[in-house]
Chain A
Amino acid sequence: MNQKRKIRVLVAKPGLDGHDRGARIIARAYRDGGFEVVYSGLHQTPEEIVQAAIQEDVDMIGLSSLAGAHMYLFPRVVELLKEKGADDIVVCGGGIFPEEDIPQLKKAGIKEIFTPGTPLTEVVNWVKENVEPGSS
């Protein structure tokens, strides 16, 4: 049967931020959009996130951050993916970010940043339009 591949996404919260309600809401929205969502939970180091992403062969990592350490943590994830030869994995961020940080994050390799208030349909559709399952 010629089946289209399913999109696999890792939703992770790096750092010390302990509020995961937003990440869970996004995870559920992704599931409702037909994706397989590996939820790796709170307090993840960039190393743990990348290792999980590789083992799970995900197409995208969604990083959730509300606590402000994104300028270090997010680019570090991109860096580690490159080191491990896994930079085909798309990295996105969601949460609370100062406007001025966004261009820098994108320059560091974060493909898109979703701020609070973005409709869930938009978040899900972005993945469908920008992430190719199983590509590399």
Chain B
Amino acid sequence: MTLDILGTSKMSIADKIAAGDIRAVARLIRDIDDMVPEAREVLKDLYPFTGRAYVVGITGAPGVGKSTLVDQMVAHLRKAEKTVGVLAVDPTSPFSGGAILGDRVRMQRHSMDEGVFIRSMATRGYFGGLTQSTKGAIDVLDAMGKDFILVETVGVGQDEIDIVRSADTTLIVLIPGMGDDIQALKAGILEVGDIFVINKADREGADRTVSDIRLMIEMDEKRYENGWKPPILTAQAVFDKGIKEILDEVEKHATYLRSSTERQSGIKYEKVRNELAEMIKDRIVRDVLSDFIQSGEFEDAVQLVFQRKLDPYTACDNIVSKKLKPGDK
């Protein structure tokens, strides 16, 4: 038995992750999720190793076939010898705090492939922290050396769309016959959609849905001047149809982003700005609010407002001004 001077136990977590240690990656993502303070330090160590992976966000209503689509995209990317990380995000039940993370079912054929790392995450939507966890997980998979990271989320609320702001390219997935639902999704979608995919395109109404989306995009013509005009693709993910075209468009988008350093740094700048703002916001909320919850002051305030002895605006000001002492301003 040889004496291992630089034994693996002496390897830092960051080193293990850069070396692709699956357990270390999985455990760190867990620690980030559970907000273990030490995990933050590891993320700092890992940062220099990030920035290489290409992040694709895939969002859409439940049932449109996102997981099947992701599964097929992974297969195609693997054939092209790219390594892939997948983050499948599902909503946490606001009642129980638990979650069923069932996206993995559709991708299990890749579970034994060493070049693929699949991780299911719950939104844990209470008190935000949404972007933080997913962003952290993306950084870990990036540092691990994955060429592509696919982030799948349910795009119902604003939070889920925020996750996708961390992506380089965002796919919006729809199915034919969504009608009013498209209108409902409109506000967030047009802002973040780089590529639109009408999945289950064999269903009735596919052409109508394509023209509905096209109309929405045309109406906003001005935004796309000299810019990237989102293509509208059709697919039948379950039959492996349309996947190659989707990945070709992702490639085109990547090229477009790289084509002008000005554009690239402009977009990147916005992303960094938004991410940092989110992190700070999240941190402040957590730290400040937790103090007041711990001390009971928060519950006291809730009681007073509930009994209508105090209005919520004053209650809020009272609490916040305690944190922001006169000198702080």
Interface residues of A (CB under 8 A from B): 1-3, 5-6, 8, 27-28, 30-41, 44, 47-48, 51-52, 54-57, 84-86, 133-134, 136
Q: Please judge, given known A-B contacts A2-B290, A3-B34, A134-B34, whether A36 and B22 are in contact too, CB under 8 Å.
A: no
Q: Which of A27, A34, A47, A54 contacts B100 (CB 8 A)?
A: A27
Q: Does B96 contact A (CB under 8 A)?
A: yes
Q: Bound state CA distance, A40 and B110, in angstroms? A: 12
Give every chain B residue within 8 A of A5 (Cβ-Cβ): 30, 34
B96 near A34 (CB under 8 angstroms)? yes
Q: Which of B22, B34, B35 contacts A55 (CB 8 A)?
A: B22
Q: Which of A33, A38, A134, A136 contacts B104 (CB 8 A)?
A: A38
B98 near A39 (CB under 8 angstroms)? no
Within B105-153, the residues touching A (CB, 8 Å) are 105, 108, 111-112, 117-120, 122, 124, 127
Min Cβ gap A73→B in Å is 16
Known: A34-B97, A55-B117, A86-B23. 11 other contacts (CB 8 A): A1-B35, A8-B30, A27-B100, A34-B96, A34-B98, A37-B100, A38-B120, A41-B105, A52-B118, A54-B26, A57-B27
Q: Bound state CA distance, A51 and B29, in angstroms? A: 16
Q: Bound state CA distance, A35 and B93, in angstroms? A: 10
Give every chain A residue within 8 A of B290 (Cβ-Cβ): 1-2
Report, nearest first, the 5 A-B pairs whose CB atoms are least far apart. A31-B98, A41-B105, A1-B290, A57-B26, A57-B30
How many residues on B have C-beta within 8 angstroms of the other chain's C-beta atoms? 37
Label chain A's interface by main secondary structure: mixed
Min Cβ gap B34→A in Å is 4
Interface residues of B (CB under 8 A from A): 22-23, 26-27, 29-31, 33-36, 92-93, 95-102, 104-105, 108, 111-112, 117-120, 122, 124, 127, 286-287, 289-290
Most chain A CB within a 10 A radius of its CB, from B26, B35, B98, B286: B98
Most chain A CB within a 10 A radius of its CB, from B23, B92, B127: B23
Give every chain A residue within 8 A of B23 (Cβ-Cβ): 54, 84-86
Min Cβ gap B188→A in Å is 26
Q: Which of A39, A55, A86, A133 contacts B105 (CB 8 A)?
A: A39
